[in-house]
Chains A and B, each alone.
Chain A
Amino acid sequence: DVQLSESGGGLVQPGTSLRLSCAASGFTFNNYAMSWVRQAPGKGLEWISGITGHNTATYYTDSVRGRFTISRDNSKNTLYLEMNSLRAEDTAIYYCANSLHVVVPAAAEHWGQGTLVTVSS
């Protein structure tokens, strides 16, 4: 069975940093693009970042570009999201998801359970 498990969320102050991890199992990790999607409390889904299966390219939505960095370690079957200069509006549940495609981070087939990030003073 495919499993995705996020960790690293928590309560942090504005302006600080946090690193999320997503451990993957049950599929050939480097065959699929991966994404981070977030959902603020009571709001809709927002795609924030993606990375190709073979780590050849990374993509970001405008609101996080320059502050967040996505990466992956295919030898450890793990996806990461380094988040810097956190703002109150970054408060959300952060999900990792695997794409059905190698390059295009669309079609998120499997999702983790999510990790809550709360940015507040």
Chain B
Amino acid sequence: QSALTQPASVSGSPGQSITISCTGTSSDIGAYNYVSWYQQFPGKTPQLMIYDVNRRPSGASIRFSGSKSGNTASLTISGLQAEDEADYYCSSYTNRATVVFGGGTKLTVL
């Protein structure tokens, strides 16, 4: 079960929009609409930001949105803020009834 592929880092300036990609296969992202995105600050518990590709859980900021095309999912953060600086992880359900995470992306707000 290979991890999903994410860029190690992305950066953007306040007010800009950034997109983090998450590439899987036809056995995970391409097969199901069970893609999730998590935000994690250093030393803190992960927080669900997007689930089922593009749904926001209660309390998540509307500046966060998700999408999927083929075997690749994306997280877009609009109106970037300093408080968005964190690590972001994607995950997907797989055809083996397991869940696989991406390696994580460190977002730096310049």
Q: Give the B-binding residues of A (Cβ under 8 A).
A: 35, 37, 44-47, 50, 57, 59-62, 95, 100-101, 104-109, 111-114
Contact = CB atoms under 8 A, between A and B. Distances in A.
B101 A114 contact: no
Interface string B94-110: 00111111111000000
Chain B, interface size: which category?
20 to 34
Contact of A59 (B97, B101, B103, B104): B97
B64 interface: no
Contacts of A60: 98
A114 B93 contact: no
A60 to B, nearest CB: 7
The 9 closest A-B pairs by CB, nearest first: A107-B51, A47-B99, A106-B34, A44-B104, A106-B93, A111-B45, A45-B101, A59-B97, A107-B36
B46 A57 contact: no
B52 interface: yes
Most chain B C-beta atoms within 10 Å of own C-beta, residue among A50, A107, A109: A107
Given A35-B99, A44-B103, A44-B104, A109 B1 contact: no
Given A47-B91, A61-B1, A107 B98 contact: no
Interface in B44-81: 45-48, 51-52, 57
B92 interface: yes
Given A45-B89, A47-B98, A100-B51, A106 B36 contact: yes
Contacts of B97: 50, 57, 59
Given A47-B91, A105-B93, A113-B45, 6 more contacts: A45-B101, A61-B1, A105-B99, A106-B36, A109-B48, A112-B45
Nearest to A93: B45
